[in-house]
Amino acid sequence: MSNVDFWRDASADIFWFKEPTRILDDSRAPFNRWFPDGVTNACYNALDVHVTNGNGGRLAIIYDSPVTQTQLVITYSELLDQVARFGGLLRDEGVKCGDRVIIYMPMVPETIIAMLACARIGAVHSVVFGGFASQELVKRIDDTRPILVVSASCGIEKSGFIAYKPLLDAAIELASYKPKKCIILQRPELTASLVRGRDIDWQQGVRTAVRAECIPLPANHPLYILYTSGTTGEPKGVVRDTGGSIVSLKWSMKNIYNVHPGDVYWAASDLGWVVGHSYITYGPLFNGNTTVLYEGKPVGTPDAGAFWRVISQYKVKVLFTAPTTLRVIIKEDPDGKLLKLYDTSSLSGLFLAGERCDSGTMDWAIKRLNIPVIDHWWQTETGWPICSYCLGMRDNTIVLGSSGRPVRGYNVGVMNNQGAQAKPGETGALVIKMPLPPGTFTTLWNADERYQESYFTRYPGYYDSGDSGYVDEGGYVFVMSRTDDVINISGHRISTGAIEEVLGLHADISECAVFGVDDEIKGQIPVGLIVLSDSASKPEDEVICDAILSIREKMGAFIGFRVCKVVSRLPKTRSGKILRGAMRQVVNGHQCVIPATIEDPHVFEEIKAILGEIAMLQHKTVRRP
């Protein structure tokens, strides 16, 4: 079956006000359009269709907030009523179809309500991670020019409150474009002062709002704008359309994750990231699932058993999280003692994404959970998985280290340095042959030229993923690292991910990061930072020596891995990505751009001092004690 015929059949599984007669318009590649003459609405497919079909009493959201000691369930009927009323409030405050609305909110049900309300009336939402500094909010305000901002008085972390309102006020003051209105959710833990004439109290506003009905929208109407970090330091506004998102996400819920209406699905991420859009909000609700919204951490709220408690309490069928989540749990509970306290028998699959999972973490999860553990590959730009083992299609042949074969609609290839197709097993740039499937990004907001240049110029006819890896003889894809994390050692191109894989085998190493440092003789040499497990049995010096010699023994002396340091934590973004590029820039004396998504700036400042010692360490000879 051709791709066009396949997606024609898949599109029949969603609600259309007007079914599409054309499936793909590729006349302006790479600006391809799926279902161009179809008319639908994302909110209708997420809520109204289930209530209309008699499933309004089914649970839509389970909200679990250990930081506020709150547990709440919301049915599809209740969620529809709240979304329709908030949509009415948006409409009453002048929001029209096509207007942009920024949502700057914590992990609370009202964030999902705001997203769906925008979709209901045709407004284009842009969710900004709660707690972003004012300057980052300024960039998004000036780029999207929102007519209105939805925010809250505060976010709550295990360490305390984050007052959102002062950050929002400062951003509006600094921004060139001034939103006309702000709707503020007052959380009882910390209330905020409102600006007269501009700010509206959420609870007061919805009391008098008249329910808004769904607006039929063209399939290619933008559903949302989501900003991701760019290489220049300027964020890129990824645009997702409506029809393609509904079709692809609903298809993925059944076929990749093997969940069915009524099943409980938990994507342990944040609503400000792409996972929060695709698999906390839209995907599960399109499919009639119960989605878990968790306002807490994997450790510290209260302990490393928090995730197992949620799975046990709500009978979660599938968990989707980042490898870094598992690593922090393992670091505090390496023997899985807290896991044994809970009944996790409802769990049928664990999916990982965000960054390549090391073999040690995979092995820990496989042995203790005794279920398929799938490290699948996708990106903010694609919006749903590129490669995966598809549990719903009985694809149970898992090859450890691989993200699986390409999912239907993705034609994945590898390009070598000469821009030609690489041989099986040869590492190169991972690319996807055009057209990209439905649900992937259609452009960058206000930046069509940047969209084309950034993703489709280097390899004409292909999407450049920015990731490197290889495809084996069996068609299994191995994602090794970002393209710029491949280092050139005396003419040999080596993935830092391959070095990290070997380091991760050491029983006393819980996490590691490897990046390249400029070298006059070899071009580049690898440098490693390692985090010891809490139950480490050897002293630091001996673990470092083991690590260095293991690379020599397993990968070869030519790698030249002799610089390795122990650190207490690695600098990461909030989505779990390690800042290898930033660390490489510091060591090589280049200007360092720290992304606004960094989890803890203080960690990076601590790492800087250690990185300053790297040059002196480069010429040390390592001998086993």
3-class DSSP assignment, residue 83: helix
The contacts of residue 345 (CB under 8 Å, 6+ apart) are none
**Residue 546 binned pLDDT confidence (cut-offs 50, 70, 90):** very high
**Contact (Cβ atoms closer than 8 angstroms) between residue 137 and residue 230:** no
Region 432-447: mean pLDDT is: 97
Tokens of 353: 């994404």
Asked which of 246-250, 470-474, 483-487, 617-621 is least confident by mean pLDDT, the reply is 617-621
Region 325-333: mean pLDDT is: 90
* Among 263, 185, 275, 269, CA closest to 226: 275
pLDDT > 90? residue 395 = no
CA separation for the pair 302, 254 (Å, rounded): 33
Listed as own residue / partner, the contacts of 554-558 with beta carbons closer than 8 Å and 24 or more positions apart are: 554/502, 555/494, 555/498, 555/499, 555/502, 558/489, 558/490, 558/492
Predicted local confidence at residue 360, as pLDDT: 85
* Among 513, 415, 425, CA closest to 467: 415
* Among 164, 166, 141, 145, CA closest to 154: 164
Region 66-90: mean pLDDT is: 97
Dihedral sign, Cα of residue 613, residue 614, residue 616, residue 620? positive
Region 598-620: mean pLDDT is: 66
pLDDT > 70? residue 91 = yes
pLDDT > 70? residue 561 = yes
Asked which of 21-30, 118-127, 221-230, 549-558 is least confident by mean pLDDT, the reply is 549-558
* Among 64, 440, 61, CA closest to 280: 61
pLDDT > 60? residue 172 = yes
Q: In the 8-state DSSP scheme, what is residue 389?
A: -
Predicted local confidence at residue 372, as pLDDT: 95
**Contact (Cβ atoms closer than 8 angstroms) between residue 137 and residue 171:** yes
Region 319-338: mean pLDDT is: 91
Predicted local confidence at residue 575, as pLDDT: 62
Predicted local confidence at residue 483, as pLDDT: 61
pLDDT > 60? residue 616 = no
**Contact (Cβ atoms closer than 8 angstroms) between residue 15 and residue 214:** no
CA separation for the pair 169, 561 (Å, rounded): 49
CA separation for the pair 395, 402 (Å, rounded): 14
Predicted local confidence at residue 324, as pLDDT: 81
pLDDT > 70? residue 624 = no
Q: Within 10 A of 260 (CB to CB), how many other CB atoms are there?
A: 13
The contacts of residue 462 (CB under 8 Å, 6+ apart) are 413, 415, 431, 432, 433, 434, 456
Q: Tell me the percentage of the chain whose pLDDT exceeds 70.
A: 92
Higher confidence at residue 112 or residue 327?
112
Predicted local confidence at residue 295, as pLDDT: 97
Task: Give the domains, in start order, of the chain with CATH numbers.
Answer: 490-617 (3.30.300.30)
Q: Tell me the percentage of the chain whose pLDDT exceeds 90.
A: 70
Predicted local confidence at residue 211, as pLDDT: 97
Higher confidence at residue 414 or residue 489?
414
Tokens 């090794």 correspond to what residue? Answer: 480
The contacts of residue 541 (CB under 8 Å, 6+ apart) are 625
Predicted local confidence at residue 525, as pLDDT: 82
pLDDT > 70? residue 604 = yes
Average pLDDT of the chain to the nearest whole number: 90
Phi, psi of 227 (to 5 degrees): -85, 135
Higher confidence at residue 135 or residue 46?
46
**Contact (Cβ atoms closer than 8 angstroms) between residue 560 and residue 554:** no
CA separation for the pair 599, 578 (Å, rounded): 10
Q: In the 8-state DSSP scheme, what is residue 387?
A: B
DSSP 175-199: -SS--SEEEEE-BTTB-----TTTE
The amino acid present at 471, given as its one-letter code, is V
The contacts of residue 350 (CB under 8 Å, 6+ apart) are 318, 319, 320, 321, 365, 369, 371, 372, 373, 374
Q: Within 10 A of 397 (CB to CB), how many other CB atoms are there?
A: 11
State pLDDT tens for residues 24-74.
999 999 999 999 999 999 999 999 999 999 999 999 999 999 999 999 999
pLDDT > 50? residue 619 = no
Strands (E), 496-574: 509-519, 523-532, 563-566
CA separation for the pair 259, 318 (Å, rounded): 8
Listed as own residue / partner, the contacts of 393-399 with beta carbons closer than 8 Å and 24 or more positions apart are: 393/255, 393/256, 396/372, 398/372, 398/373, 398/374, 399/472, 399/474, 399/476
**Contact (Cβ atoms closer than 8 angstroms) between residue 103 and residue 150:** yes
Predicted local confidence at residue 618, as pLDDT: 47
Instruction: State which H helix or E strand residue 582 sits in.
Output: helix 580-587
CA separation for the pair 425, 173 (Å, rounded): 54
Region 406-424: mean pLDDT is: 93
Predicted local confidence at residue 574, as pLDDT: 67
Predicted local confidence at residue 600, as pLDDT: 72
Higher confidence at residue 309 or residue 596?
309
Region 284-292: mean pLDDT is: 98
Higher confidence at residue 270 or residue 573?
270
pTM: 0.84
3-class DSSP assignment, residue 10: helix
